[in-house]
Amino acid sequence: MINISLPDGSVRQYESSVTPMEIAQSISEGLARNVISAIVNDNQVEVTTPITTDATIKLLTWNDEMGKKAFWHSSAHLLAQAILEFYPNAKLTIGPAIEKGFYYDVDFGEDKLTEADFAKIEKAMLENAKKKAEFKLYSVSKAEALETYKDNEYKYELISNLTDGDITFCTHDNFTDLCRGGHIPNTGIVKAAKILSVAGAYWRGDEKNKMLTRVYGITFPKQKDLTEYLELLEEAKKRDHRKLGKELGLFAFSEKVGAGLPLWLPKGASLRRKLENFLLKQQTKLGYEMVVTPHIGQKELYVTSGHYAKYGADSFQPIKTPNEGEEFLLKPMNCPHHCEIYKTSQWSYRDLPKRYAEFGTVYRYEQSGELHGLTRVRGFTQDDAHIFCTPDQLLEEFKKVIDLVLYVFKNLGFDNYSAQISLRDPENKEKYIGSDENWAKAEQAIITAADDKGLSTVVEYGEAAFYGPKLDFMVKDALGRQWQLGTIQVDYNLPERFDLTYVGADNEKHRPVMIHRAPFGSMERFIAILLENTAGNLPLWLTPDLYTILPISEKYVEYGEKVLNLLAEEEINGLIDSRNEKTGKKIRDAEINKIPFMLVIGEKEAENGTVSVRRHGEGDLGEMTIEEFIAFMKEQIKLK
């Protein structure tokens, strides 16, 4: 007999071999009908995989994240099968499941897949799915695998790096692929399919390799689910920060300036400045001191910090000066500069903590295929700060930073978030710097602080920074997509590498602990998510133009400018639309530009010293005197 432990803690006994499907059937027929995959001893397997020893098991349905992963990974096989039906000379590479759906990277050779081909691919996928073909995983020798893919250099390369005895193929219907497993029972479960897009992707993400075609798709067990998802995608297109940024005149990109280097237009600069002032005001209350550091530093600075080893080979290359052997780097992080600021004085334990903050721009070379609007750029500004404290102060300081992050989220309307404790990979420690002892202390400090603040957390191994563990705040936007924004990190390593010290109560030198923190994460990504979360309808206190004055004819422009000046004196900023256009068009344009208030003025308003107020998305609010409108706006901004 073998013992099978279930997630609820119960244990069931079975004969010497049992499959996940048989376990599901022994629990209930309803579960058996819905189970599509399983996790056995932390490994995802098919429901037909024999279990021959004591094990823990989790049975997965479509409602489980890992169940969807198996569903979408299996669907990638269906996609690849359909592609080969129409493009038999295409070379397949890899086809993983992703957060929403799956993709397959394909070398089409002389052929080209376009949007016009999507429908026939989808039709073929569903016709093949109706065959209810089982996914069958089986082992092959390395020699056999290499022979099978001798004409596919991509698969051949993958197989060459695998160990003989650990190589498996998966077959369904007339299609076979190199695969590690984790499939649904049969193709019949797939009822709806959609090819979403195609894009370029370098083989293995290396720009030196050939550009492949990445085909994105998604499938569902019900047509209704696909319909709802496509409606969500349409809403996402409306909320795309790249579209909104252009429409609202916030930022732009220039090929001459360079890919991934955003240009902030006046309205976007105003938005950034308001966000910075909001955080600056709160930081000042909490004892932070603002500093400013250069955009470059000597290469040796980043060698000392470890950033050159981490980013050097794959980032912007060193800047050489006329002096032989002298090299500078665009800074990839602000922390080495702040360490050097700390070293300008000798501190006592009575002086700590020291909290240095900076809106510092850093540079990292992201590959062109990975750039995406403001969310993935090559130059970005962090709302960065570094706290140097004694070990005894660490826990309290960390909790204060948690409070600051939550203060930011609350005021910006990010209510749907989770906290992720990002620890180092215990099986791959060479990726990190520092001693096991320091890592253990840093990790425990984060776990304790998060627990003390009552945060609901998940632990992710392998997601730590190379110098220390992190508490990352994962925010879900209005469409349910998850983004990492705020981050807090504990670092025992950089103080050692920079030989930072303070004099303790015993009059001896001691090593401070360093906290890295960025509540926004980066100004670029934060603004992108803010735009998409609000669909461009920003909180009033962040909106660059609060109103637009709409004279109904040219003879009321002078009165409109008088109103504009009166409001500007009260720091209520807006603009005047003095174009020779019909009032209806001006209102429509103001609605499109998401300007919160429209002040229509004509003969009556000019005579009475009033404005007729309209609100974006709501309509008329009635006539107000200038004084009434000023009081109204101040109250609205205060409420927001």
Dmax (CA) for the chain in angstroms is 94
pTM (predicted TM-score): 0.79
- The arithmetic mean of pLDDT across residues 603-613, rounded, is 95
Say if residues 369 and 103 touch (Cβ distance below 8 Å): no
Tens digit of pLDDT for each residue in 115-164? Answer: 999 999 999 999 999 999 999 999 999 999 999 999 999 999 999 999 99
Which residue, 490, 216, 510, 468, is CA-closest to 347?
Answer: 510
58-67, 346-355, 454-463, 606-615, range with the lowest pLDDT: 454-463
Q: What is the CATH number of domain 2-61?
A: 3.10.20.30
Question: pLDDT tens across 402-438, in order?
Answer: 999 999 999 988 888 889 998 988 888 888 878 888 8
Mean pLDDT of 374-378: 93
pLDDT, residue 415, reads: 84
| Residue 478: predicted pLDDT | 67
Catalytic residues: 335, 364, 382, 384, 386, 470, 516
For residue 53, what is the DSSP state? S
Q: Strand 2-5 vs strand 55-60: parallel, antiparallel, or unpaired?
A: parallel
Residues in Cβ contact with 241 at an 8 Å cutoff, skipping those fewer than 6 apart? 373, 374, 375, 527, 528, 529, 531, 532
Domain ranges of the chain: 2-61, 66-237, 269-289+333-534, 545-639
Edge-to-edge, what's the strand order for the sheet holding 2-5? 11-14, 2-5, 55-60, 37-40, 43-45
- The percentage of the chain sitting over the pLDDT mark of 90, rounded to a whole number, equals 81
Question: Which pLDDT value is given to residue 639?
Answer: 64
Quote the Cα angle for 358-490-42, to 5°: 130
Q: For residue 18, what is the DSSP state?
A: B
pLDDT, tens only, 38-82: 999 989 999 999 999 999 999 999 999 999 999 999 999 999 999
CB 391 within 8 A of CB 442: no
Above 90 in pLDDT, residue 235?
no
Predicted confidence band at 343 (pLDDT cuts at 50, 70, 90)? very high
Superfamily of domain 269-289+333-534, CATH level 4: Bira Bifunctional Protein; Domain 2 (3.30.930.10)
- Give the annotated binding-site residues for Zn(2+): 335, 386, 516
Fold of 66-237: Threonyl-tRNA Synthetase; Chain A, domain 2 (3.30.980)
Q: How is domain 545-639 classified at the CATH fold level?
A: Rossmann fold (3.40.50)
**pLDDT category, 5, cuts 50, 70, 90?**
very high
User: What are the tens digits of pLDDT across the range 90-123?
Assistant: 999 999 999 899 999 999 999 999 999 999 999 9
Q: Provide the 3-class DSSP secondary structure of residue 370.
A: helix
Q: How far is CA 92 from CA 169, 321, 344, in A?
A: 14, 47, 57
Length, in residues, of the chain: 640
The answer to whether residue 535 scores a pLDDT higher than 60 is yes
Q: What is the pLDDT of residues 551-596, one digit of tens each?
A: 999 999 999 999 999 999 998 999 999 999 999 999 999 999 999 9
**Pairwise CA distance, residues 187 & 174, whole Å:** 12
Kindly give the pairing relationship between strand 575-576 and strand 547-551. parallel
**Each residue's pLDDT tens digit, 248-295:** 999 999 999 999 999 999 999 999 999 999 999 999 999 999 999 999
